[in-house]
Amino acid sequence: MSINLNTTIGGIALNSCIYNASGPKCTTKEELENIGKSFSAAILTKSSTLELREGNPSPRYYENDLGSINSMGLPNKGYQFYADLAKNMRQYNKPYFVSVAGLSLENNLTMLQDLSSVDAIDAIELNLSCPNVPGKPQTGYDFERTQHVLDKVCQFDQHTLGIKLPPYFDLIHFRQMAEIINQYPIKFVTCVNSIGNGLVIDIDQEQVVIKPKDGFGGIGGDYIKPTALANVRQFYLLLRDDIDIIGSGGAKTGSDVFEHILCGASAVQIGTQYMKEGTSCFERIEKELKNLMLQKNYTSIKDFQGKLQSIK
Ligand code: SIN
C-alpha cells in the first residue's frame, strides 16, 4: 500500500507534513542547509528581528526527560540575512518559511514590507508569542493589541501569512482569538509556542536551570503536548476552513504527529525533539507515522485529519 504524507499550508504544497519548528537549530546558514538536506518538509528560520541579536545570557536552554525550558531572547542574524539566503534555499526543493518577531509593530511592518519583495520566500510565520524578551509582553495574550497588529500587517499585499500563537487555556479565549483571526487573510496558524514563564529547578543545587529572568522561561516537549493538542483542536473547530492549523508542541514520535493531525493539524513542527536528536528525527518520525497509518489502513493524512471523536 502506498502511503503519502503530502499536505498543503495556505495552498503551498509540502511533500510531508513534518518540518522544523522555529527556534532550535535554524539560525545559521549551516543549520538551515542541514534542514534543507534532511527529511524536514520545509525550512523554517529562527524568528528574525530588524537587526542581528545576540539574545539573552547563557545558560538559556535546558532539557530533561520531560522536555525543555528556554529563554533564548531571540538570538538571530537579522531578517536581511534570512532574505538573502532565500535563493540559496531553492536548491532543496522545499518551501522556505521565514519567521518574523519584530520588537515593535513598526519593526514588523518594515520587515514584512521588505520581505514581500523576495520571491524565493514561500511564507511568513509572524511570531506573536515569544515569552522571553524582558519588557516585551506576548502580543497574543493582548487581544486588542493583536487586532491592531493584524489590522496593520494585513494592509498590504504580501507573502502567504501565518501567525504563531501562545497557548490558551480558557475556552472564552479560544473563541475571542478565533473571532479576531477570522477577520483577516491569515492563511495558517501555528499552535503553540512554548508555555511561557515556567520554572524548572535543579533540586541538588536548589537552583534554577537557566540564567535569564531568574530562571523563568518557555516550556516545551512532553510537558506541553496536551495543551498543544487542545489548542490545535479548538482553533481547527473555530477558525475559517481556509486557515490551516500547524501543530507544534510535544511531537517526538509518529504517534504524536498522528494525534496532532487527528485534532486537525495540516502539518506538525518538531522543536524540542529536533534540538535533542538533530535532523535525523524527521526521517524517523516520518517512518513511524507511515507505519502507524499502514496499521490503520490510511493512505493519506486526509483520511484522519480533524476526525477526533468524542465519547458518545
Ligand atoms: C526565544 O528566542 O526566546 C524563543 C522564541 C519564541 O519562543 O518565540
For the chain, report the end-to-end CA distance as a whole number of angstroms. Answer: 32
Q: Which pLDDT belongs to residue 217?
A: 98
**How much is the pLDDT for 168?**
98
pLDDT band for position 156 (50/70/90)?
A: confident
**pLDDT value for 158:** 80
Query: What pLDDT, in 10s, does the model give residues 75-129?
Result: 999 999 999 999 999 999 999 999 999 999 999 999 999 999 999 999 999 999 9
CA–centroid distance for 143 within its chain: 20
Nearest atom in ligand 1 to the alpha carbon of residue 74 is 2
- Whose CA is closest to 7, among 272, 292, 260? 260
Instruction: Report pLDDT digits (tens) over 57-76.
Output: 999 999 999 999 999 999 99
Report whether pLDDT(1) > 90. Answer: no
| pLDDT for residue 162 | 98
pLDDT for 255 beyond 90: yes
Ligand 1, pocket-test mutation among 25, 46, 130, most atoms within 8 A of CB? 130
Question: How far, in Å, from the CA of 279 to the mean position of ligand 1?
Answer: 20
Tell how far the Cα of 127 is from the centroid of ligand 1, in angstroms. Answer: 9
Average pLDDT over residues 118-147: 97
Residues 95 and 14 sit within 8 Å (Cβ to Cβ)? yes
pTM of the model: 0.98
User: What is the rounded average pLDDT of the residues 289-310?
Assistant: 98
Residue 164 above 80 pLDDT? yes
Protein residue whose Cα sits closest to atom 5 of ligand 1: 130
Ligand 1 atom at minimum distance from 127 CA: 8
The answer to whether residue 36 scores a pLDDT higher than 90 is: yes
Mean per-residue pLDDT for 14-31? 98
Domain 7-303 CATH class label: alpha beta
**Structure confidence at residue 235 (pLDDT):** 99
Pocket of ligand 1 (CB under 6 A): 23, 47, 70-74, 127, 129-132, 193-194, 218
Residue with CA nearest ligand 1 atom 6: 130
Pocket test for ligand 1, best of 54, 60, 193 (most atoms within 8 A of CB): 193
Cα(158) to ligand 1 centroid in Å equals 24
Is residue 263 among the annotated active site residues? no
What is d(CA 3, CA 312) in angstroms, rounded to the nearest whole number?
31
The catalytically annotated residue of 26, 130, 263, 281 is 130
Query: If you measure from the C-alpha of residue 291 to the centroid of ligand 1, how many angstroms do you get, rounded to a whole number?
Result: 33
Give, for ligand 1, the residue of 20, 74, 126 to mutate: max count of ligand atoms closer than 8 Å to Cβ: 74
Whether pLDDT at 157 is above 80: no
Mean per-residue pLDDT over the chain, rounded: 98
Work out the pLDDT band at 166, boundaries 50, 70, 90.
very high
pLDDT tens-place string over residues 179-207: 999 999 999 999 999 999 999 999 999 99
User: What pLDDT is recorded for position 170?
Assistant: 98
